[in-house]
Every structure is written in C-alpha cells, then in structure tokens.
Amino acid sequence: MKNVVVAGGTTGMGRVIALYHLRQGARVTVIGSTPARGEQFLADAAALGAGERAGFVRADLRSVAENHRVVAEIEARHEALDGLVLTQLMPFVKRYETVDGFEGVFSLYYVSRFVLSYRLTGLLERGDMPLVVSVGATGITKGAVNWGDPQFAASYGMVKAMVSAGRANDLLGVHYVQNHPDGRTKYLQLRPWYTDSGTNHLPQPHRTVARALGKVFAKSPEESIRGTIALMDDQPAERLILRALDKPVDPSLRTFNPADAQRLYELTKGVLR
C-alpha cells in the first residue's frame, strides 16, 4: 500500500492530491492548522469508504517544535513514505514573528518544508518510488533570498518576504538532493497555475478581493494540479524535477545555483541550532 503525507492537505491543491491518493488505495495523512478543515477531510474520506486509511494531524507548522511533533506522529502512523507533499502557506500582511523568533513566511513556507523534508527522509527512503512535492513558485527568477536579513527584521513587506521564501524553496530541492547523493528520494518543485483555492488566511478586505479575482481568473484546484498528480504516478528520471505551469524549468537558472543552495543549507542549520 502506498503512503502519502500532505502538509496543507486540508484545502486547495493539497486536498485534491490527498483525496486522489485515498481513491487510489493509499494511506494518507494530512496536516493543517484548522480543526474543522481536518474533520471535513476525514468526513470526505469516510464518504469515499477510505476512513480507515485517512488521518489528520492538527499542527501550527510555523513552530519548529510543532514540525518535530508532526514528524513523530507520522513515524507512528507510517512505516514508509512514497509521497511527501508540501503546500503549507499563509500570507502575513504585517510582519509576524513566530515562537522561534522567525519571520512567519520564512518559517512556514521554507523552514517547515526544510524540517519535514530532511527529517522524513528515513521513511521516504523506505518507500517504493519516494518523491517530495513542493508546491511553490519555481521558475520565477525575480528576486533572491534576502541574505543580509532573511527574517526581514529591519524592513518588512509581504511580497518581499514571499519572494525571498520562494527563492529559498527553489534552493531547498537543490541542497536536499546535493546532501543525499546516494538517496532514492526525488524532489519535485513546481509552480502551479493561478488557482482558486478559496481558503486563504488573508484578513479583510484582502480576502474578499482575492476570492473575487480567483472566481474570475483562476483554475479550480482539480484542474490546476492534474499534471502534478500525473507526474507523481509517472516520475521522470532526474532526481530534481522542476516544473512551472506543467512545463519543465531549466535547472541551470541562477535560482538553482548549487553554491547558493549550500549557503542556505548552512544558514538554515545555523538558525535551527
């Protein structure tokens, strides 16, 4: 039986991926911060006749300790992993400082994905065709990691923080593969289509505006993530798989620079110490 974990699997694209794998007969655990969304996911799983194979772990993945607790819960529930899907994100209009003293976007969009990817490698390496799938902003070459002030302590802007964490995620797959040269686990980083997930944490009036735009211009999560699901089932040969809007992305772009990736790995280990 396949085993799949989806961080951010209670809504949006993550939820579609989680339900797909349940329908295929996998054991699936989703992680999210809102209990009602987790309960809805479990009810949907039960309606599919997959209640026994579905799990929900409530956690606030902005906290490093919560990520470590989630790892322990996944290790208790799964003996191996075939898929680890990372979609967790929450926008912060004003600078949010986490319990660890990190800036919120950096913590949720990058550090959480770092901790889950590295710490679940043991389970992944026991999977049949293990794959990490990180849904982000791959292929966008604008901006860079804010090396001088990655926590945006001096001057915060939501877009600047999202761009910096997006570029950090580009480098995460690179350093993950570099640091596991003999591993079997592949790393798929992708940018999806503009998607009407309908469930963001934006405060008003930003939420109403985002939802109205989404209804008009965005694809449904089902439509948006179809190509990603196909890639999970039929994986390319390379270990670092890069896609934007379902098309391959050039791994020699400056956003995947191996030296920058190693620098970020060291920086991350440093702040986590």
Ligand X SMILES: NC(=O)c1ccc[n+]([C@@H]2O[C@H](COP(=O)([O-])OP(=O)(O)OC[C@H]3O[C@@H](n4cnc5c(N)ncnc54)[C@H](OP(=O)(O)O)[C@@H]3O)[C@@H](O)[C@H]2O)c1
Of 47-55, 76-84, 188-196, 226-234, the window that binds ligand X (rule: CB under 6 A) is 188-196
Q: Return the residue of 137, 171, 241, 242 that touches ligand X, per CB under 6 A.
A: 137
C-beta separation of 112 from 62 below 8 A: yes
Of 48-56, 148-156, 186-194, 259-267, the window that binds ligand X (rule: CB under 6 A) is 186-194
Kind of pairing between the strands at 83-86 and 3-7: parallel
Of 73-81, 114-122, 146-154, 190-198, the window that binds ligand X (rule: CB under 6 A) is 190-198
- The minimum distance between CB 185 and ligand X, in angstroms, equals 20
- Residue whose Cβ sits closest to ligand X: 12
Q: Which residue, 66 or 260, is less far from ligand X as judged by CB?
A: 66
Q: Return the residue of 4, 74, 89, 261 that touches ligand X, per CB under 6 A.
A: 89
Q: Does 174 help bind ligand X (rule: CB under 6 A)?
A: no
Q: Does 127 help bind ligand X (rule: CB under 6 A)?
A: no
How many chain residues bind ligand X (CB under 6 A)?
32
- The minimum distance between CB 80 and ligand X, in angstroms, equals 23
Q: Which residue has the tokens 């110490």?
A: 273
Of 4-12, 73-81, 117-125, 142-150, the window that binds ligand X (rule: CB under 6 A) is 4-12
Q: Which residue, 146 or 197, is less far from ligand X as judged by CB?
A: 197
Nearest to 195 by CA among 162, 169, 170, 218: 218
For the segment 40-79, give every residue that binds ligand X (CB under 6 A): 59-62
Q: Does 164 help bind ligand X (rule: CB under 6 A)?
A: no
Q: Which residue, 50 or 162, is less far from ligand X as judged by CB?
A: 162
Q: How far apart are CA 236 and CA 255, in angstroms?
A: 21
Q: Does 255 help bind ligand X (rule: CB under 6 A)?
A: no
Of 33-41, 45-53, 232-240, 249-257, the window that binds ligand X (rule: CB under 6 A) is 33-41
Q: Which residues bind ligand X (CB under 6 A)?
A: 8, 10-14, 31-34, 37, 59-62, 87-90, 108, 135-137, 191-192, 194-195, 197, 199-200, 218, 221
